[in-house]
């Protein structure tokens, strides 16, 4: 591995990994290796890293972000906010913007925005908006067009003859229902998949097969007509690391954004999901910085839309794991927030008490995942401090 890629977090990870999950026959040797790695690394020690990650002051992330011209918020499910008053209070304290995790998708979990082709159910998403407004939070919409989360009736009732009508009606109805009330919309989500080997990089989805590549422009124009005030966003993932798959996705996403801008599509922002991988050491600040600058050069704002840290391959010990997770947050945000076009940070959840990663990326040792800023008891973790410090040190917008 080239020396410049041996980062502080990689040295720390090697040291922690060596200290956990090993048989007794290798303990003495691995402890020596770990101690040497930590002593020789820029991190110096776990205790030093923990001290470095603490911030001063009791201000919330919402307050810290606002002081820099940023917005911080988190995604949530209505059921959790409704049944857990302590969680709701934490959102009120920390968040300046709320994102319904399920409630504005066509069909997801217990949320059924489109129970039938002809009907809409806004009861859950309306509750979310009332919650946000009553606590002086903005709300952003997620998501109008996605290849997943489609209802059971979709495949049987949507075809080439009616697909455009179904899509436009959905966007007109949903975005129109919230016209003037939302900060922004994820209009199209995850439309890129280089592994599908199309020249344009587009993912082969039901929408692509029914409507062709122009479905993206169609969706943005329908959203702009339905809600002229909302910032309209293209949202995607897998763009953070120095890996061939992330290189390919960055190229394809940038090509798509350039095309949309060139043809006059009403797009205002790019959403970088940032589901970080806690075990991944191939983080190249310069590559991420160049990508963000290229996006910004198109006149687009940049939103960090689904930030968390996948920890299923990190050491089991919670203290060690929390320190690696905090470092992943800080490494990423320190670079991202250097770009003035970045205006928004949304974590995909706020507390480890409720996270999609428990189901989608569980640990093989069955330990609880710890990907978010507050622990399961709603206490601030090192990750919270890491995000706070990155915000505090960011240039003002």
CATH code, domain with 335: 3.20.20.80
The reply to whether 40 and 187 lie within a common domain is no
Q: 350 pLDDT exceeds 90?
A: yes
Structural domain total, the chain: 2
| Average pLDDT across the chain, whole number | 90
Band (25; pLDDT cuts 50, 70, 90): very low
**If you search the block for the tokens 């040190």, which residue do you land on?**
393
Residue 110, domain member (yes or no): yes
On whether residue 54 sits in a domain, the answer given is no
pLDDT in tens, 28-70: 333 334 333 433 443 444 555 555 667 778 899 999 999 999 9
Q: What pLDDT shows up at residue 30? A: 36
3-state secondary structure string across the chain: CCHHHCCHHHHHHHHHHHHCCCCHHHHHHHHHHHHHHHHHCCCCCHHHHHHHHCCCCCCCHHHHHHHCCCEEEEEECHHHHHHCHHHHHHHHHHCCEEEECCCCCCCECCECCCCECCECCCHHHHHHHHHHHHCCCEECEEEEECCCCCCCCHHHHCCCCCHHHHHHHHHHHHHHHCCCCCCEEEEEECCECHHHCCCCCECCCHHHHHHCCCHHHHHHHHHHHHCCCCEEEEEECCCCCCCHHHHHHHHHHHHHHHHHHHCCCCCCEEEECCEEECCCCCCCHHHHHHHHHHHHCCCCEEEEEEEEEECCCCCCCHHHHHHHHHHHHHHHHHHHCCCCCEEEEEECCCECCCCCHHHHCCCCCCCCCCCCCECCCCCECHHHHHHHHHHHCCCCC
Predicted local confidence at residue 12, as pLDDT: 59
pLDDT tops 50 at residue 204: yes
Whether residues 166 and 253 share a domain: the answer is yes
Q: What is the pLDDT of residue 39?
A: 36
User: 80 and 29 in one domain?
Assistant: no
Residues with active-site annotation: 306
CA distance 372 to 397: 25
Model confidence at 26: pLDDT above 70: no
User: Interior CA angle at 161 toward 155 and 162, to 5°?
Assistant: 65
In a domain, 379, yes or no: yes
Give the model confidence (pLDDT) of 129-174 as tens digits: 999 999 999 999 999 999 999 999 999 999 999 999 999 999 999 9
pLDDT in tens, 181-190: 999 999 999 9
Residue 347 has pLDDT above 70, yes or no: yes
Say yes or no: 31 and 85 in one domain. Answer: no
User: pLDDT at position 101, please?
Assistant: 97
User: What is the per-residue pLDDT for 49?
Assistant: 55
Would you state the pLDDT for residue 147? 97
Question: Residue 359 burial by CB count (10 A; 0-12/13-18/19+): exposed, middle or buried?
Answer: exposed
Domain boundaries, position 192: 59-392
If asked whether residues 333 and 365 sit together in one domain, one would say yes
Query: Would you state the structure tokens that stand for residue 46, as one six-digit string?
Result: 């776990």
Interatomic CA distance for residues 309 and 278, integer angstroms = 6
Region 316-321 average pLDDT: 96
Q: Give me the phi and psi of 285, to 5 degrees please.
A: -55, -40
pLDDT at position 109 is 78
Whether residue 376 has pLDDT greater than 70: yes
State whether 40 and 79 are in the same domain: no
- Cα-based angle 102, 105, 110 (whole degrees, multiple of 5): 45
397 in a structural domain: no
Is there a single domain that holds both residue 18 and residue 67? no
Alpha-carbon distance of 242 to 103, in angstroms, equals 34
Identify whether 53 is part of a domain: no
Asked whether residue 201 is domain-assigned, the answer is yes
Do 181 and 37 lie in a common domain? no
Distance separating alpha carbons of residues 65 and 255, to the nearest angstrom? 31
pLDDT of 136 reads: 98
Quick check: pTM over 0.85? yes
Overall average pLDDT of the 354-362 stretch? 98
Give dist(CA 116, CA 241) in Å, integer. Answer: 40
In a domain, 181, yes or no: yes
| Mean pLDDT, residues 308-321 taken together | 97
Q: Are residues 269 and 186 in the same domain?
A: yes
Indicate if 178 and 256 belong to the same structural domain: yes
The angle formed by the CA atoms of residues 128, 276 and 81, to the nearest 5 degrees, is 20
% pLDDT > 70, the chain: 87
| 17 & 101 share domain | no
pLDDT digits (tens, 9 = 90+) for 251-293: 999 999 999 999 999 999 999 999 999 999 999 999 999 999 9
Averaged over 343-348, what is the pLDDT?
98
pLDDT for 250: 98
Residue 67 C-beta-side C-alpha neighbours within 13 Å: 13
Buried residues in 107-146 as b, exposed as e (16+ CB within 10 A): bbeebbbbeeeeebebebbebbbebbeeeebbbbbbbbbb
Q: Which two tokens stand for residue 254?
A: 């940038």
Q: Are residues 146 and 270 in the same domain?
A: yes
Phi, psi of 73, rounded to the nearest 5 degrees: -160, -170
């Amino acid at each position: 591995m080239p020396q410049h890629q041996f980062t502080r977090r990689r040295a720390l990870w090697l040291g922690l990994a060596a200290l956990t999950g090993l048989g007794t026959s290798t303990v003495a040797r691995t402890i020596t290796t770990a101690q040497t790695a930590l002593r020789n690394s820029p991190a110096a020690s776990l205790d030093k890293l923990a001290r470095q990650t603490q911030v001063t002051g009791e201000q919330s992330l919402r307050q810290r972000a606002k002081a820099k011209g940023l917005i911080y918020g988190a995604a949530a499910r209505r059921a959790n906010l409704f049944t857990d008053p302590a969680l709701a209070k934490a959102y009120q304290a920390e968040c300046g913007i709320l994102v319904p995790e399920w409630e504005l998708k066509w069909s997801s979990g217990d949320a059924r925005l489109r129970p039938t082709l002809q009907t809409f159910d806004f009861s859950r998403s309306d509750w979310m908006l009332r919650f946000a407004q009553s606590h002086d939070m903005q709300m952003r919409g997620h998501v109008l067009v996605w290849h997943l989360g489609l209802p059971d009736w979709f495949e049987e009732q949507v075809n080439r003859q009616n697909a455009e009508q179904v899509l436009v009606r959905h966007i007109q109805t949903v975005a129109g229902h919230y016209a003037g009330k939302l900060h922004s919309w994820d209009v199209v989500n995850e439309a890129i998949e280089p592994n599908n080997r199309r020249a344009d990089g587009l993912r082969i989805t039901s929408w692509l097969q029914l409507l062709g590549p122009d479905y993206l422009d169609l969706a943005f124009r329908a959203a702009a007509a339905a809600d002229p005030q909302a910032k309209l966003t293209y949202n995607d993932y897998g763009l953070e690391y120095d890996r061939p798959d992330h290189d390919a996705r960055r190229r394809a996403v940038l090509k798509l954004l350039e095309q949309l801008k060139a043809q006059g599509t009403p797009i205002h922002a790019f959403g970088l999901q940032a589901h970080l991988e806690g075990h991944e050491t191939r983080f190249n600040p310069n590559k991420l910085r160049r990508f963000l600058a290229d996006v910004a050069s198109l006149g687009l704002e940049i939103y960090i839309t689904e930030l968390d840290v996948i920890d299923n391959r990190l050491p089991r010990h919670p203290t060690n794991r929390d320190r690696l997770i905090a470092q992943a947050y800080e490494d990423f945000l320190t670079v991202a927030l250097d770009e003035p076009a970045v205006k928004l940070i949304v974590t995909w959840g706020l507390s480890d008490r409720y996270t999609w990663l428990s189901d989608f990326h569980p640990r093989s040792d069955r330990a609880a995942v710890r990907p978010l800023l507050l622990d399961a008891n709603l206490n601030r973790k090192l990750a919270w401090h890491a995000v706070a410090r990155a915000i505090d040190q960011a240039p003002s917008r």
